[in-house]
Amino acid sequence: MEPILVLQQVPHETLGTLAPFFLEAGLEFRYLELFAQAPPQFDPDRAAGLVILGGPMNVDEVDRYPFLRSEVAWIRETVAREVPVLGICLGAQLLAKSLGAKVYPNPIKEIGWYEIELTSKAGEDPVFGGLAPQQAVFQWHGDTFDLPPDAVRLAQGESCRHQAFRYGRSAYGLQFHAEMTAPLIEDWLGDAENRRELAALDYIDPQGIRARTPELLPRMEALGRHIFPRFAALCRGESE
């Protein structure tokens, strides 16, 4: 079987808790380190699935990050071939853009722990079906997007409406970071550039984020144990 291709925007954003579920499903994965060198060619027929990770840039910073323009084309082609796609944070925004939706600044930056609500459509979804309506998730983003035409909204939030969506049978966008681990959260909070960003946001309390992590991370891990194996099954050509 072909590997999962993982589009990595920056070194510190990885598959996190998603990686073990791919391995348990017998799926190999390969990072494409776009920050180092974008591949000259991209063939979705050589992929069991595509994961697009997050990053601090926005989707339109193509002058500074030329690979973003290529990513949009790759994602569009992958979706057209009905290869399973999972976009996380920036990845969800790139997926939305590739499907013709507008991406723009959210009224506030969401950083830390937030509650989201699954929609009624989520109950019918092969990946999200069977979950409780209220979920706790980790966020780190400043942009949001319109729901792409013909997409199904699966989750919503008070300060950012579009939190998860499905397009077609197997393309998913998650605005939140369900893949986070405690060490990753601490790495992000401790990063020098991120500390400068947080210092400018008087409504974000890094110590409060740390304090809530022991309580809320297990809830999000349970969410990951539900959705990630089901996405892996789609990549294997199966459904649960």
Catalytic residue among 71, 141, 162, 177: 177
Helix ranges restricted to H, 4-146: 18-24, 67-80, 90-98
Catalytic residue among 71, 110, 179, 226: 179
Of residues 181, 220, 203, 202, the one with CA closest to residue 13: 181
Structure token pair of residue 137: 């998730």
Cβ atoms of residues 3 and 29 within 8 Å: yes
Establish whether 177 is a catalytic residue. Answer: yes
Structure token pair of residue 221: 């891990």
Count of CA atoms in the C-beta half-sphere (13 A) of 129: 9
Cβ atoms of residues 110 and 144 within 8 Å: no
**Backbone torsions φ then ψ of 183, nearest 5 degrees:** -60, -40
Establish whether 89 is a catalytic residue. Answer: yes
Catalytic residue among 89, 160, 226, 235: 89
- Which residues are designated catalytic? 89, 177, 179
